[in-house]
Structure 1
Amino acid sequence: MVSPGILLVDKPGGITSHDVVSRTRRAFGTRKVGHAGTLDPMATGLLVIGIEGATRLLTYIVGADKTYTATIRLGATTSTDDAEGEPLTTANAAALAAVSDERIAAGVAALTGAISQIPSAVSAIKVEGRRAYDRVRAGESVELAARQVTVSRFAVLRRRDVDGAIDLDVVVDCSSGTYIRALARDLGADLGVGGHLTALRRTRVGPFDVADAVPVDGLADATALSPAEAAARVLARLDVTGDEARDLRHGKRLVGQAARVAALPAAAIDPDGALVGIVERRGADLKSAMNMPEEAR
């Protein structure tokens, strides 16, 4: 029997997130596998994978903030806002020469903090039931609504002046739902030269770091985090007695116990170290919002 768990995988470029899910299914011998947030085929880095009952935890991970490293090329735009798209415009030499470090810093500052961002048209957002990227590839024009996102850090690590362009190596800390391709597009537009993404790597999802991830060719020997360990990293931890664990699993409330946890929702963990489920406040009580399947002893 396959044990539930959360697996951290370092996705290489050139394959889809679904490819990683498929390989994980084969490696672990189960169909019940999901992930907490897609990476484009061009992108590399951290995919958080749920296996068996731990897929229920992905709901609590997908909205976590994230860190990316990326390379933004100033001086050209593409149809997809990244290097995989068709070239659309190219800036002239005079416009590029006018892009000073000070102007870049001002443009980056304007895209830092709480901002309104229009996602790239080539995204996984659904428009009338179909993914935006499917509509674009079918030749349709797609206009997505702006959304509020938070970019808590947008820092230029290095500037490289290359032939006919400027490459910026950057690091971004952001809320879930932020499109780094859109940051590249918007920075280039602000500077009047256009911009797109040439490299993207996700290095962190909430408390999970790519340094702890396994490569896709190491899946057969990979060890997943237990549901309890993973949940306690993402949420507050509530240690419960055997009786309390039984009550939560049977849908009963822990009466008057909400004050036991500083932050909610919380991961309820039984005396054996197993994750009972995720509890939420109901007045002064605690009640399971999600129960894990009870692990075999």
Structure 2
Amino acid sequence: MKASERAEPVERTGLRSGHDRARRRPDVPRGVVTAADGILVVDKPQGLTSHDVVGATRRLAATRKVGHAGTLDPMATGLLLLGIGRATRFLTYLVGAGKTYEATVRLGVETTTEDADGEITAARGCRIEDLPEDRLEEALTSLTGRIQQVPSVVSAIKVDGVRAYKRVRDGQDVELSARPVTIHELRLTGEPRKTITDGARSDVSDAVEAVDIDILVSCSSGTYVRALARDLGRALGCGAHLTALRRTAVGPFDVDEARTLAALSEQVEADASAPEPRGVATVPLEEVARRCFEQLALAEDEARSLRYGRPLDAAVLERAEAPEGRRSPVSRNAAEQRVVAGFAPSGRLVALLRHQGPRARPVLVLDPA
């Protein structure tokens, strides 16, 4: 199924105001007990901001202590990782996880926001006959690997302390510098399709023939898929914009295990009438750590030291084992960026450690003395 078929359509009104967004916030029940510390894997609907989902989750989980590990634009759907309680402290180490997306790109039409929420700025058009397979593959290949990407001007990146999208909304010209990102995989997932753009969202008066393509993107954190769509259009000489986006994976978490706000609301309502309410079910911290990080089995004296915030000899990291599942660790950069989860003999998660010089120092103690 295409990314564009996985969500209900929303009205395309360009850059939306905070007031408009507030009217779309979902009405969800409030949990009768606070949810346990852990990660909540949510399938974000189209039309809501990530902050809208955080706000809804605060009610569902009966706590203000909720955060997310990487935003999704309002038009996007799919996997959103939320930290509940102490798990909010985990989010720093999950934000950098790799992401996978399904997207639909419209070739031949450009917009102000580089996606379907913006006004059309150019409509050169594109025909399937103009896109022989080797030409399209060459363009996709040119955007694969480690590349320099200029983020979208309507991103949340700050320019002199102000979000870029706010400056654009206020009518300012914004220029952002290119930054390195890695595109692990960029490929077609279906045959190109002919479509017609009627120009209703622009000064373009005539209907224009365009081409929709479905792609899969596996990339490093910090990649803007709408910028990939923009650059693909430039590489083909016809312009392009993103019309649908769905995030299907973040690190070891997959959208198939995510729950919708509607499903979570049903659980909270059922939980309220249970003899012993337990709150919204989360992925426990121990499981999150085993899935995301290399695991270090600690001796009792080592666990005791970490509980007091004391470092261990760096040699202990040589005992670390790969995380559960088939995916690589979330932190897999240079040695100084490597994060390892330390577990007590009881199986309890004690701390996250990082190699620093001759020591393995705790960067987050989750089971203090």
Q: TM-score range by the shorter chain?
A: over 0.9
* AA partner of residue 283 (structure 2): L
Q: Normalising by structure 2, what TM-score?
A: 0.76
Alignment of 1:166-205 (within 5 A): 166-205=211-250
Matching residue of 1:228: 286
Corresponding residue for residue 144 of structure 2: 112
Return the offset for 1:294: 5.0
Moved more, 256-265 or 25-34: 256-265
Q: Which moved more, 1:218-227 or 1:199-208?
A: 218-227
Give the percent of matched residue pairs that are identical in Structure 1 and Structure 2: 50
Give SS of 2:168's match: helix
2:252 match: 207
- Higher alpha-carbon deviation: 57-66 or 268-277: 268-277
Per-residue deviation at 1:97? 4.3
For residues 52-111 of structure 1, give each alpha carbon's deviation from its aligned partner in whole angstroms, at most 9, with x where no partner exists: 111111111100111000000001000000000000001146x77423322211111111
Match among 237, 243, 246 for residue 304 of structure 2? 246
Listed as ranges, the gaps of 5+ residues in structure 2 are: 1-33, 197-208, 268-279, 322-334
Deviations 1:138-181 (A, max 9, x none): 11111100011111110011211223110001001001111110
Q: 1:249 to 1:197 in 2, by over 3 A?
A: same
* Counterpart pick for 1:127 among 156, 159, 163: 159
Aligned residues: 294
Structure 1 residue runs of 5 or longer lacking an equivalent are none
Residue 258 in 1 paired to residue 317 in 2?
yes
Deviates more, 1:167-176 or 1:225-234: 225-234
How far is 1:277 from its partner? Answer: 1.4
Letter of the 2:346 counterpart = D
Written as runs of structure 1 = structure 2, the 5 A alignment for 1:44-193 is: 44-92=77-125, 97-158=129-190, 159-163=192-196, 164-193=209-238
CA distance in 1, matches of 2:37, 2:232: 42
Match of 1:214, SS? coil
TM-score, L = length of structure 1: 0.93
Change (3 A) 1:282 1:191: closer
The one-letter code sitting in structure 2 at the alignment partner of 1:169 is D
Letter of the 1:13 counterpart: Q
